[in-house]
Amino acid sequence: MALIVQKYGGTSVADAERIKHVARRIARTREAGNEVVVVVSAMGDTTDDLIKLAQQICDKPDSRELDVLLSTGEIVASTLVTMALHGMDYPAISLSGAQAGIQTDSSYSRARILKVESQRVKSELDKGNIVIVAGFQGITNGMDVTTLGRGGSDTTAVALAASLGAGVCQRYTDTEGIYTADPRVVPEARRLPEIGYDEMLELATYGNKVIHPRAVELGELYNVPILVASSFTDRPGTLIHGGPFMEVRNKARSVAYDLDVAKITVVGVPDRPGIAAAIFEALARAGVSVDTIVQNASINNITDLSFTVAKSQLAKAMEVVRPIAKTIGARECTSDDKLGKVSIIGAGMQNTPGYAARMFGTLSEKGINIELITTSEIRITCIIEEAKVKDAVLALHRAFELEKED
Ligand code: ADP
Ligand code: ASP
Ligand code: MG
């Protein structure tokens, strides 16, 4: 018997009808002769609703209590899927993250999985049960409930697949796979039949949502192929794996965007050792994660330092940086929270000239100003005005002819 781990996202379990539909799909996988472990997200917008509710109760909810609250969303979904399977006469049991042995560190709201103690899941499978695990959550050594960060159910699923030695982790969502761009923005976007872990990691990190980046990292680390496919159709989807690849891919593969970008610039910074360390160490201590960092060439030993953070972290970052800017004698500290990121990604771009020029040329033809640029070997990212991001994605998709087959 093969063991399959499946994950169903929030849209796929958004209401009673969809939960019954998902249960029928799970039953089919079981009927095909497989052992099945299923990880579920919270129903629809439950997580957002619970966050809003907590904020109505108090301005800054305690992080431990918030994690317990948010973990309930996935627990609700896991019990309902289990009941739907019972209604169809299939043996099934729901487990919380803690019961499924997902052990994490104690960083509330962004906990990392330390190990998976999967004996309970295995013993339930041995009893003949289909096991439905609440995603997105784990438990610390001290028995406190944690959550893994937004979108974290993907990571639960891949971690379980790795620990149980499943042949594949199937991630079911509301699109038919990974596309050359977000199909909600680019109607002519094309589904990619397969993609490598490295490209997928860049796409997940620099794109909005598609799949939790840590799930892709774990997939690569433990060599678990991840199939991304629709829970609404039976189309083939996209296989994320380590190769070898059948296709020739000497081109850009996809365009990603992210609207959650704010920039801070410390203007008129004295150019001497230790300044960057003072700023970024303080930000790290405050738990602010900094993304792109750019320091201009200095003139008369004075320079400007810019960096980006998530919009939700801008206020906190400014609180940290303002006093430091004053102490080090910087002229001022400015911020802009109306920014976004657009990236082109493709392993085929490595060592091939011309991609950057074409990207910048396309944006300039659209009258889009580039605020900051960052690159990796297989990615070029431009930070631009938020209101222009969707136009930029459409224009780049066209300029790189991503709608055409490889
Ligand atoms: P789930 O609820 O199943 O976890 P998400 O909403 O987190 O699903 O992620 C799926 C969404 O990701 C899709 O509805 C789609 O709009 C978006 N998305 C962004 N970029 C892409 C892409 N390149 N390919 C496919 N989907 C994408
Ligand atoms: N429910 C959580 C979220 O909305 C986790 C997940 O869906 O993966 O972020
Ligand atoms: Mg998701």
How far is the centre of ligand 1, averaged over its atoms, from the C-alpha of 203 (Å)? 11
Task: State residue 250's pLDDT score.
Answer: 60
What does the pLDDT read at residue 248? Answer: 53
Return phi, psi of residue 321, to 5°.
Answer: -80, -35
Per-residue confidence (pLDDT) for residue 145, from 0 to 100: 98
Residues 81-129 have pLDDT tens digits of: 999 999 999 999 999 999 999 999 999 999 999 999 999 999 999 999 9
Q: Region 192-196: what's the mean pLDDT?
A: 93
8, 13, 175: residue to mutate for ligand 1 pocket, most atoms within 8 A of CB: 175
Q: Among 247-256, 346-355, 391-400, which range has the highest average pLDDT?
A: 391-400
For the domain made up of 254-399, give the CATH fold: VC0802-like (3.30.2130)
What is the rounded radius of gyration, in angstroms, for the C-alpha atoms of the chain?
A: 23
Share of the chain above pLDDT 90, in %: 83
Closest-CA residue, ligand 2 atom 4, reads: 47
Which pLDDT value is given to residue 356?
Answer: 92
Mean pLDDT, range 270-293, rounded to an integer: 89
Tell me the C-alpha distance between 239 and 404, whole Å.
19
pLDDT tens track for 376-402: 989 999 999 999 999 999 999 999 999
Q: What are the extents of the domains in the chain? A: 3-174, 254-399
Would you identify the CATH topology of the domain 3-174? Carbamate kinase (3.40.1160)
Across the range 228-253, mean pLDDT stands at 85
| Separation of alpha carbons 390 and 363, rounded Å | 12
- Residue 67 Cα to ligand 3 midpoint, Å, equals 17
The pLDDT of residue 210: 85
The band of 352, judged by pLDDT with boundaries at 50, 70 and 90, is confident
The residue whose CA is least distant from atom 8 of ligand 2 is 151
Condensed to tens digits (0 to 9), the pLDDT of residues 138-181 reads 999 999 999 999 999 999 999 999 999 999 999 999 999 999 99
Q: Confidence class of residue 329 from pLDDT cuts 50, 70 and 90?
A: confident
Q: Report the pLDDT averaged over residues 53-75.
A: 96
- Equal fold, 3-174 vs 254-399: no
Residues with CB under 5 A from ligand 3 (ion): 9, 151
DSSP 174-222: SSSS-BSS-TTT-TT--B-SEEEHHHHHHHHHHSSSSS-HHHHHHHHHH
**Residue carrying structure tokens 């042995």:** 101
Task: Give mean pLDDT, residues 35-64.
Answer: 96
Ligand nearest to the Cα of 136, by number = 2
Ligand 1: distance of its center to the CA of 158 in Å? 17
From residue 348, how far is each of 130, 179, 393 by CA, in Å? 41, 17, 19
Q: What is the pLDDT of the chain when averaged over all its residues?
A: 94
pLDDT of residue 351: 73
Q: What is the pTM of this model?
A: 0.91
Measured CA to CA, the distance from residue 130 to residue 372 in angstroms comes to 49
* Closest CA to ligand 2's atom 6: 151
Tell me the ligand closest to 175's alpha carbon: 1
Q: What angle do CA 293, 296, 301 make, to 5 degrees?
A: 125
Q: Can you give the pLDDT at residue 266?
A: 94
Structure-block tokens of residue 288: 């602010």
